[in-house]
Amino acid sequence: MSKKTGIMGGTFNPIHNGHLLLAEEAREFLNLDEVIFMPSGNSYMKSAASILKGEMRARMVELAISGNPYYLLSRMELERKGPTYTCDTLVQLKNSYPENEFYFIAGADTLLTLEGWKNPEMVLKNCIMAVAVRGMGAESRLRQKADSLMRRYQADIRLLPVRYVDISSSEIRQRRMEGRSIRYMVPENVFNYIVQNDLFCNSSALR
């Protein structure tokens, strides 16, 4: 049976309420059957200096999505050896579930920098890009970029009108380093996990 499957990729260092709201608005807007949260493995695009071990990031995702029947956790990228590339992940998903329609849920920065990724043509061939638009001011620029990519790669790109939530993983890490509260920026069970494991205050849990 075919499914419309959303893919929420990211470092999730840590996952926060902004990620969850984006996933939910994309699920509703696109009428998705499920959303798979996929913590990145050894991303070639980010330094590992401040990234938690993969299993800790996966556990926080697991806690964050618990109780939502539409949300699933995948360790596919965490289990892959070497650098992880979105193009390879999407090919693997299409080979495993050829009947499914995959929607790669992303922010505006992803669309604007996509041609700097490895094999952007493979990314666009194997998924529908669902890009969050936060505010009317950004829509014109994103629409121009989307139109350009659709012409060049025969891609299917959808712009999602979503509400703006000013939360970032980097801000959460910074607040922890400064001894400030992150309550209500992350789900309560994720907050408890971070505090109980003293995460983002020292380097012992970094990969």
pLDDT in tens, 3-57: 999 999 999 999 999 999 999 999 999 999 999 999 999 766 555 567 999 999 9
First to last CA, the chain: 39
Convert the pLDDT of each residue in 95-113 to its tens digit.
999 999 999 999 999 999 9
The angle that helices 188-196 and 54-65 make with each other, rounded to 10 degrees, is 150
What's the rounded Cα separation, in Å, for the pair 34 and 3?
Answer: 8
Query: How many other CB atoms are found less than 10 A from the CB of residue 22?
Result: 24
Looking at residue 206, its pLDDT comes to: 54
pLDDT given at position 139: 83
Domains and CATH numbers, the chain: 4-168 (3.40.50.620)
Residue carrying the six token digits 């309420």: 17
3-state secondary structure of 2: coil
Is residue 185 helix, strand or coil?
Answer: coil
Q: Are 134 and 163 in contact (CB under 8 A)?
A: yes
